[in-house]
Amino acid sequence: MTQVACIGDCMIELREMADGHFARGYGGDTLNTAVYLARLGVDVDYVTALGDDPWSDEMIAGWGAEGVGTRKVGRIAGRLPGLYIVQTDARGERRFSYWRDSAPARELFDRRETEAIVKDIPEYDLLYFSGITLSLYGETGRQRFFEILKHARGKGRRIVFDTNFRSRGWPDLVRAQEAYRTAFEGVDIILASTEDLDLLFSSDGVRELLLHRAATELVLKLTTPACRIIAGGVDEQVAAEPVPDVVDTTAAGDSFAAAYLAARLAGVEPREAARAGHRLAGAVVRHPGAIIPRASMPDGFGSRQPRQEMQR
């Protein structure tokens, strides 16, 4: 079975309720994708660093219960996970406030305790990371990460990049643009959105992405409920069914990514993989929080067995 590594950070989540109280959980974009990949039958490990505190223990236990592998989670003594608060408006749109400057995951590529984990990253068949992953690391850590990805690709591994962009995670826009351009050059699949690209590159965003259409599978989520697939000489839009009762858009993109990649790993062509992504995301936005109850997973999701190789 193909082995997948999702690389990033998971934080303690405080979700503000209508009455002003908070519900505690945990979340992170690449972790959300890892959970949905595991539910879809994919062999996936989460690669990150946490502290040695009870909240970190709780996270690891929860990931394991979802079927996400935790053998590549580093533990750094005396440290605590990052924290964020999520507030949701009447339309289901959310606003995040972060406290993650000292999160252990930021030092994944800098610590002696995580050396063995970093060394093993290129051994996975498919590596998945996001723009938020890139924002975690300083210049030195990010450069080391790119070197590891290059080494992995040289070994025939597949690399997937989700553009998920949060400006507050970057010291300035120029550094973010440089990091994204480097990522675009070194991956096999880019999962992008026009919103991310516009924030990064203004009106040149889509053009920046299309520079890579000859060698990279591109999935561009549009402002309308649709995505544009550019792969294998095909350039087409795949519409999503409208969702009239949106509750919370948290993890819509993360779940789309999971369903798309699980379908591709199962040998499904990009068009149908995008439809699978739309369908799972449509279910996720009808529930509060990033991870919906197992019983709410759409029919037909959760039993697919991925093939050994992704179609190129």
What's the pLDDT at 94?
A: 72
pLDDT higher than 90, residue 55: yes
What's the pLDDT at 91?
A: 74
Tell me whether residue 254 is one of the annotated catalytic residues: yes
Who has greater pLDDT, 289 or 57? 57
Who has greater pLDDT, 27 or 73? 73
Give the confidence band of 289 by pLDDT, cuts at 50, 70, 90: confident
In Å, how far are 146, 198, 217, 239, 270 from 48, measured between CA atoms? 16, 29, 26, 34, 29
Tokens standing for residue 163: 């553009």
Predicted confidence (pLDDT) per residue in 195-204, tens digit: 999 999 999 9
With respect to CATH, is domain 3-296 assigned 3.40.50.300?
no
Three-state secondary structure call for residue 95:
strand
| Per-domain residue ranges of the chain | 3-296
Report the pLDDT averaged over residues 44-68: 97
Predicted confidence (pLDDT) per residue in 61-102, tens digit: 999 999 999 999 999 999 999 999 988 787 767 788 889 999
pLDDT higher than 50, residue 168: yes
pLDDT higher than 60, residue 259: yes
The letter for the amino acid at 124 is: Y
Tokens standing for residue 85: 């608060």
Predicted confidence (pLDDT) per residue in 142-163, tens digit: 999 999 999 999 999 999 999 9
Query: Annotated catalytic residue: which of 125, 235, 254, 299?
Result: 254
Three-state secondary structure call for residue 194:
helix
